Amino acid sequence: MSTISNCTETAIKDAASTLIKGDLVAFPTETVYGLGADATNEDAIAKIFKVKGRPTDHPLIVHISSIDNLDKWARDIPEYAVNLARAFWPGPMTLILPRTDLAKDFITGGQDNVGIRIPSHTVALALLKEFEAQGGLGVAAPSANRFGAVSPTTATAVEIELADFLSENDQILDGGPCSVGVESTIINCTENKPSMLRPGAVTKEMIEDALGITIDLHTSNSESMQVKAAGLLESHYAPKAKVFLKGTPTLGDGFIALDSYETPAGAVRIAAPKTDEEYAQILYEAFRLADFKGIGRVFVIPPTGSGIAVAINDRLSKSAFEK
C-alpha cells in the first residue's frame, strides 16, 4: 500500500490504471474518503468487502464523472431524478435508481436498484475522468473505514483504518481533509416520489426547493422498499469511545458541542465548532481524536434545527451508546 500525497496528473493516471488492473484506490471526496474499485470487476469488488470486513449483501455506490454516463448504470430514470442530478451533481448526493445489466448483484447486493453519485472533489473527479478515459465505466466506493466504524475524512484516518488490510499494489490518494465531513444524502428514486434514505449536506429543504414538492425522510428500513443499507443499521458510525447524547460528563470524559457551550468542569473539550457546517466537517475527526486520547466516554450536545443538523443528528444517534 502506498499513500500519494501529491495528486499530480501522473499520479492520477497511475491511480486510474491501478483501478483498471483490479486493485484498490482510496480517494478523497467532498463528503468522506472512499475505498474505490472497478465497479465491473467482481474480484476487485470482493477485495473491498474483505478490506472493510463488510457483509457482501450490502450494496455499494457507483461513482461516475458525468451525467452522460448515468444511462449505462440506471434505466427508467424518473424526471424528478434527472432534475435532482442537474441541481446537485457533482455534489454530496446519491440517487438510488433501477439498475441496468451492468450493475451486477455484487454491486447491488442482489437488489434491482443501484446507487449512483458524481462527487465534486477535484481529485475524485480527475480520477473518475481518467479511469473512464482508460476504459473504465464506474468506480464502486464505500466509505474507506472498517465496517461499523467512523468514516475517514483525512488520508491519515484511512491509513489508521485500513493500512493493515490493504495489499501492496493498493493506493491511498491524499487530497486533504474533506469539506463536508458526513456521507452523501441518499435519495430513493425508484418510486413515484423521491424519499430520503440518509440525510446529508444536500438537505431536505434544498431538495424540496429544487423540486417544488415535499419529501419524506426514511432513515430506517421502510416497508415500501426492501433496501439493505449499512448506514440504515441502528448501530453504525461509532468510535471506540462510548457516545452519550444525554447526561453530564465527569472528570476525564470527552465533550463535543458548539462553541457557544461552555466545557463542563473536569471534561476534556474535544471539539467546539462554530457552525453546523463546521460541526459536520469535524465530527468524525473529533471521534478519532477522543479514541486517540484513550477517552472512554464522550458526551455530545447535538445541534438543533434543520439543514445539515439533521444529518449530524442521524449519525450521532447511530453512534450513541446511550441516547
Choose the binding region for ligand TXA from 11-19, 40-48, 115-123, 262-270 (rule: CB under 6 A): 115-123
- By beta-carbon proximity to ligand TXA, the closer residue of 128 and 256 is 128
Distance CA 28, CA 32 (A): 6
Is 185 a binding residue for Mg ion by CB under 5 A? The answer is: no
Is 111 a binding residue for ligand TXA by CB under 6 A? The answer is: yes
Is 203 a binding residue for ligand TXA by CB under 6 A? The answer is: no
| Greatest Cα pair distance in the chain | 59
Is 108 a binding residue for ligand TXA by CB under 6 A? The answer is: yes
Is 93 a binding residue for ligand TXA by CB under 6 A? The answer is: no
Q: In this structure, are residues 44 and 25 in contact, taking their beta carbons and an 8 Å threshold?
A: no
Among Mg ion, ligand TXA, none, what does residue 59 contact (CB within 5–8 Å per kind)? Answer: ligand TXA
Please count the other Cβ atoms lying within 10 Å of the Cβ belonging to residue 164. 10
Residues 139-178: x/- map of binding to Mg ion (CB under 5 A)?
A: ----x-----------------------------------
Among Mg ion, ligand TXA, none, what does residue 186 contact (CB within 5–8 Å per kind)? Answer: ligand TXA
Helix (H) or strand (E) holding 47: helix 42-52
Q: Which of 29, 120, 153, 203 binds ligand TXA (CB under 6 A)?
A: 29
Q: Which of 18, 38, 44, 59 binds ligand TXA (CB under 6 A)?
A: 59
- Reading the block at residue 17, the C-alpha cell is 490504471
- Reading the block at residue 30, the C-alpha cell is 467532498
| DSSP reduced 3-state for 140 | strand
Distance CA 141, CA 117 (A): 10
Q: In this structure, are residues 119 and 139 in contact, taking their beta carbons and an 8 Å threshold?
A: no
- By beta-carbon proximity to ligand TXA, the closer residue of 83 and 222 is 222
Instruction: Report the b/e string of 14-46 with b at 16+ CB within 10 A.
Output: bbbebbbebbbbbbbbbbbbbbbbbbbbeebbe
Contact footprint for ligand TXA (CB under 6 A) = 29, 31-32, 34, 58-61, 94, 96, 108, 111, 113-115, 117, 119, 141-143, 183-184, 186, 227, 229-231
Contact footprint for Mg ion (CB under 5 A) = 143
